Amino acid sequence: MIPTKKLAVRGKAYKLNIFDTAGQERFRTLSTSYYRGAHGVILVYDISNKKSFVSMEKWFDEARMNANPDAVLYLVGSKLDKVAAGGRAVSYEQGKAFAEAQGAEFCEISSKTRENVKRPFVEVVDKIVQKPQLIAGATHSSKAIDFNMGSLTSSPCSC
């Protein structure tokens, strides 16, 4: 069963099909199939872990090779709650600059405090509906927006 979430953007309801690959290498052979048909790809790294940030380039490459060519890409820095404890290894500016270089939107979130958790979904859906070529390719019977969540954290989606 595909996890789904309902989300209203600009007063209109959308059903999101969310595939969370959790970035785990053991699922690498399966993850490419999850990209097929994705309208949006949200890639997540841990702001307290430089290695997870450095690996984002390969995840963007994988998304571009396997997702819809017009798919909306979004980069998320997670564990924003660790900033107060001095646990930041990647600055906001580094994350934003990398996202811009990849042609992606960017924000930082905290699943623990729920800060900005819905923001990437709302912004990606907003961008998707502005691309008629993506919506036209959607399965009309499902009226859903497909997401691939390439994540390097083990926390589940809390949107």
Q: Over the stretch 12-36, which tens digit does the pLDDT of each residue have? A: 888 888 877 666 665 556 567 777 7
CA distance 113 to 159: 12
CATH number at residue 89: 3.40.50.300
| Residue 94, domain member (yes or no) | yes
Number of structural domains in the chain? 1
| Residue 101, domain member (yes or no) | yes
Give residue 111's domain range. 15-64+83-144
| Residue 159, domain member (yes or no) | no
| Residue 76, domain member (yes or no) | no
Write down how long the chain is: 159
64-89 CB burial, b ≥16 within 10 A, e <16: eebbbeebbbbbbbbbbbbeeeeebb
Residue 118 CA to its chain's centroid (Å): 11
| Residue 39, domain member (yes or no) | yes
Q: Partners of 72 in the beta sheet? A: 40
| Residue 47, domain member (yes or no) | yes
- Given the DSSP bridges, would you call strands 105-108 and 4-9 parallel, antiparallel or unpaired? unpaired
The predicted-structure confidence for 72-100, as pLDDT tens digits, reads as follows 999 999 999 988 777 899 999 999 999 99
| Residue 31, domain member (yes or no) | yes
Q: Is the pLDDT of residue 144 over 70?
A: no
| Residue 92, domain member (yes or no) | yes
Of 98 and 143, the one with more pLDDT: 98
The predicted-structure confidence for 49-59, as pLDDT tens digits, reads as follows 999 999 999 98
CA distance 8 to 126: 10
